[in-house]
Structure 1
């Protein structure tokens, strides 16, 4: 995969952070996949000091069980199909696409609570929406506080006291099927293997 295709994958990490926990089921754990169609805009910390924050839009279709992530100002977007467990990176500037297995050990289906060990924290409001902070440790052993709505929408991720991802808008509106369609006529680019 070219650097132009790899770079936007960093944005996907926010979406899959919630599924990168230990593999056993949890009775007291959040829903980490939206239960309904949603359209969320996130502000994210950027590693680029000249641009301290970046934005991305995430849309979810409950019927298709697909997620689309559009980094702001990019001709690249990503579609994750939860049924096939595939992630397609679409680069419209080069009329190319790359399909790889979705990152993370598992994708939680709507209505299924997250696997792993979670500790319920306080309630808070982010982007005008109530959510519950859940304390968890990722597969790299790093502790994070992730705030989820009762219906599975991630609103904030905090690690080491720093907000990494925070929603600034959320709309629970129907998402039309074409939003998640992969355009025809794209060149298939094979992913580079390390």
Structure 2
């Protein structure tokens, strides 16, 4: 799995969500033996993302979600770049405001689980905990690389923490449940289209 959705740092959070959270194969299940992994309400969450390498400082990213638009916006702190993923069209747009440019690529990962629909894959329910002042349930899962992760979700589908190999990879710092204005997810006009680089 390439964290960052195969894009630079701006996509770390989105890549974790694509690879760790919704990347397992579909199986039959009981009604409540998997989490909701898509927010069922509009939310505004700030995450702290850490590296297993202690020499690298943590980074913060803001994630906003619109249930009506089925769009997610991720803003890395201190960056002129942000990302908008449209889950209806399955397109991810990286907007570079410093250079007035944008790059659009197919959104990697499986299709989004609809709000109110439990995740596909094999999950094991763990303990409850509180992250960012919010209760959540730890779910044990396997990511697209076959690595075990513990992911804490609220009952309404908001990811609050990801732990892998005993390391807290992602942790919510703040969570606000509030309607997100449509312009937050709009791609600015007049940007130069830049082709995505391919290895």
Same fold (TM over 0.5): yes
How far 1:111 sits from its partner (Å)?
1.6
- Deviations along 1:72-130, one digit per CA (max 9) or x if unpaired, are 00000000111111110000011110111112122222122111100000000000000
Segments of 4+ moved more than 4 angstroms: 1-7, 13-16, 21-27, 47-51
Answer yes or no: is the 8 Å Cα contact 2:10–2:75 preserved in 1: no
Q: Indicate how the Cα distance of structure 1 residues 24 and 72 shifts in structure 2: closer, same or farther if over 3 A, else same.
A: farther
Gaps of 5+ in 2: 19-25
Answer yes or no: is the 8 Å Cα contact 2:11–2:83 preserved in 1: no
Answer yes or no: is the 8 Å Cα contact 2:3–2:12 preserved in 1: no
3-state SS of paired residue (2:128): strand
Gaps of 5+ in 1: none
| Greater Cα shift, 101-110 or 166-175 | 101-110
Q: Indicate how the Cα distance of structure 1 residues 34 and 155 shifts in structure 2: closer, same or farther if over 3 A, else same.
A: same
Task: Please report the TM-score for the alignment, with normalisation by the length of structure 2.
Answer: 0.86
Answer yes or no: is the 8 Å Cα contact 1:22–1:139 preserved in 2: no
Distance in 1 (alpha carbons) for counterparts of 2:97 and 2:28: 36
Answer yes or no: is the 8 Å Cα contact 1:82–1:109 preserved in 2: no
| Greater Cα shift, 149-158 or 42-51 | 42-51
Q: Indicate how the Cα distance of structure 1 residues 128 and 174 shifts in structure 2: closer, same or farther if over 3 A, else same.
A: same
RMSD: 3.2
Distance in 2 (alpha carbons) for counterparts of 1:81 and 1:35: 16
1:191 equivalenced with 2:186 (yes/no): no
How far 1:139 sits from its partner (Å)?
1.4
Answer yes or no: is the 8 Å Cα contact 1:26–1:115 preserved in 2: no
Task: Please report the TM-score for the alignment, with normalisation by the length of structure 1.
Answer: 0.88
- Deviations along 1:17-70, one digit per CA (max 9) or x if unpaired, are 35xx88999862111110000000000104775542100000001111100000
